[in-house]
Structure 1
């Protein structure tokens, strides 16, 4: 048996105020579990994305998360869950005024190929995105357009989508 307090797991750099990866802390080998707290305007993910191999479930503990989907926005409230199949594009946001607390579960543990779409000003289009650590050594994750190389977002620990705190 493995037991962990969410508060003891280090916060990850994400477009959410809090994202604590529980997978390694619990010694999981077949499923990914992440705990999130989204302040108003925060997102679960860096981009509108799909997973080639992994299906994903979000269980909303409190607040309301709004997911961008191919069929339009889907609001998911407290004590509700939503499942996204392999290859299904989605991105969840906190569009409300209250903090969203949620668990994200993905299985199998591997993503496979993950297509990530973000808006690129230089291309004036949604383009595939590469994510990497900041080249200048700063503690940040940076998104670049695959088409032209333009920076489309930069996140710091606890920052909102692409904004510098």
Structure 2
């Protein structure tokens, strides 16, 4: 939904650049050079008078694609990472996942969340000794500093994240 809105606004800004002579003004590379993800959301400034915003889902949560992706985005991360080991068939995972994503988003970039499907990445589950799902690891500077298994309420998740950030 947010992507459609962003595209609609972007296209509207392009259409509004059509000059009175019926010719299009060129879209320069500088038109979107200020594209960034900030605590307020994804912002692009196609013209000095118009800013486009969407939600900040862009960097707080991501799915792990493979082992090297995990190494780059989790182990080598400067930002603390919460790793959610889950499975599609797991009922408790479906409850914890969105709750955890919401709590991570509230941290405004101080921590990010990686999602690892254990059926797709059995090797990572074995390496990190995941024997049940959901299992959540807190990784800071490449080291596991905390861990829990099962569902937690929002207060417990907040305490878990504050301990990781602090």
Q: RCO (CA 8 Å, sep 6+): is it higher in 1 or 2?
A: 1
Give the TM-score taking structure 1 as reference length: 0.27
From the CA coordinates, give the structure whose radius of gyration is larger.
Answer: 2
Give the TM-score taking structure 2 as reference length: 0.27
